[in-house]
């Protein structure tokens, strides 16, 4: 049982489902003012649309693409509101009668300010030390061993980096990826396995103040702008771990210490399998936890492979994407605390 100081997880993360209207609308019921909004159409193919308060409204990157940032202006996410966000008529986030999932994180409540802890001063860093999440924008210098401040005050376990002023793949650091995770990287826009590359993180683990980058185009081209999403574990609220598949329909149990509201996983030890997202709103009951794939524009996949339980995740399938025998998988879990500091237990599903 994992106690936590975060008694109301929806103050910091929430999944919100909505239906498009083809015009403009405000999505409410998020529970906080989001600083990172990730949207995916469910009932048809379409790109994953990611926007944040640091880069500003209208500016979009895609998790399933290596493409540069593009600006949709008021047609995209046009405002970050106190209980959600507003959207325009961009078809990938607001097709009339289309169904959508949005995942919403709270950082510092806006664009933030420059962080000067690293050798590269960030343009802006928006940080929430309570929930262990920050967003940083920086300009690369192509210098191996350069450092960037993340503002978390504790060492991040998961980092997503994307070049925004040019095209290149995503760089992902996960502290349980291998026995030497700082030597490796994954790509959010790809089914590729983990790969050894000095240019990503300069073979240097992040610290409580900075993360280190090499001279890879994915993390540190000269004069190029990047966005970094950094996460640190918070007991009872977030966990960034790994598990080994058993190749059995009675699959692995993954203990998190809380009921996950968002669960992202990737087979890291071999190529060919997609990243997978489930959450506690689609369909909202076991065993139906439908899957979406961050590296793919595919429609939502109806699935009964993964159960969300009160203290973790139970795999119920021998599918290679989630449970191949002997394969290593990394995951990101954000959730509802099992028992908060107020000693009020959360209910099971």
Q: What is the pLDDT of residues 265-292, one digit of tens each?
A: 999 999 999 999 999 999 877 887 899 9
What is each CA distance from 204 to 94, 138, 207, in whole angstroms? 42, 19, 9
**pLDDT at residue 347, rounded to an integer:** 54
Measured distance CA(2)–CA(236) in Å, rounded: 5
What is each CA distance from 26 to 16, 84, 90, 272, 333, in whole angstroms? 12, 7, 14, 38, 27
Contact between 292 and 281 (Cβ < 8 Å): no
Reported in sequence order, the residue ranges of 268-344 that DSSP labels E, i.e. its strands, are 276-279, 306-309, 312-315, 328-337, 339-340
Q: How many CB atoms lie within 10 A of CB 89?
A: 18
β partners of residue 172: 160, 186
Measured distance CA(246)–CA(228) in Å, rounded: 34
**pLDDT at residue 304, rounded to an integer:** 86
**Whether the predicted pLDDT of 349 surpasses 60:** no
Contact between 16 and 84 (Cβ < 8 Å): yes
Least confident range of 15-19, 85-89, 281-285, 315-319 = 281-285
**Whether the predicted pLDDT of 338 surpasses 70:** no
Quick one: how many helices (H) and strands (E) in the chain?
A: 3, 28
**pLDDT at residue 127, rounded to an integer:** 98
Two tokens, residue 228: 């970094």
**pLDDT at residue 303, rounded to an integer:** 83
N- to C-terminal Cα distance for the chain?
Answer: 17
What does the pLDDT look like over 179-200, one tens digit per residue? 999 999 999 999 999 999 999 9
> pTM for this one?
0.96
**pLDDT at residue 286, rounded to an integer:** 86
Range ranked top by mean pLDDT from 87-91, 279-283, 302-306: 87-91
The residue-averaged pLDDT of 72-98 equals 98
**Whether the predicted pLDDT of 76 surpasses 70:** yes
């Amino acid at each position: 049982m994992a106690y936590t100081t975060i008694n109301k997880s929806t103050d910091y993360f929430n999944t919100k489902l909505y239906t498009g209207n083809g015009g403009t609308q405000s999505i409410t019921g998020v529970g906080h003012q989001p600083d990172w909004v990730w949207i995916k159409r469910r009932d048809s193919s379409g790109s994953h649309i990611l926007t944040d308060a640091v880069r500003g409204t209208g500016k979009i990157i895609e998790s399933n693409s290596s493409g540069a940032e593009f600006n949709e202006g008021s047609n995209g996410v046009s405002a970050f509101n106190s209980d959600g966000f507003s959207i325009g008529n961009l078809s990938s986030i607001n097709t009339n009668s289309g169904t959508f999932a949005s995942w919403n994180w709270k950082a510092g409540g806006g664009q933030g300010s420059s962080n000067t802890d690293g050798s590269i001063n960030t343009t802006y860093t928006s940080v929430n030390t309570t929930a262990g999440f920050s967003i940083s924008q920086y300009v690369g210098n192509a210098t191996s061993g350069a450092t960037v401040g993340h503002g978390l005050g504790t060492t991040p376990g998961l980092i997503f980096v994307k070049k925004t002023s040019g095209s290149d793949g995503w760089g992902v650091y996960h502290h349980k990826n291998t026995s030497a995770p700082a030597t490796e990287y994954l790509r959010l826009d790809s089914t590729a396995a983990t790969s050894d590359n000095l240019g990503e993180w300069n073979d240097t683990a992040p610290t409580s103040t900075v993360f280190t980058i090499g001279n890879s185009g994915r993390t540190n081209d000269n004069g190029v702008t990047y966005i970094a999403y950094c996460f640190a574990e918070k007991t009872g609220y977030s966990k960034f771990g790994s598990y080994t598949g058993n190749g059995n329909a009675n699959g692995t149990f993954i203990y998190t210490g809380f009921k996950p509201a968002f669960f992202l996983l990737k087979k890291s030890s071999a190529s060919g399998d997609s990243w997978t997202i489930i959450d506690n709103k689609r369909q909202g009951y076991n065993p139906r936890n439908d899957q979406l794939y961050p590296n793919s524009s595919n429609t939502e996949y109806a699935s009964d492979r993964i159960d969300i339980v009160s203290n973790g995740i139970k795999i119920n399938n021998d599918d290679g994407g989630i449970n191949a025998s002997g394969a290593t998988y990394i995951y990101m879990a954000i959730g509802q605390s099992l028992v908060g500091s107020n000693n009020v237990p959360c209910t099971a599903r």
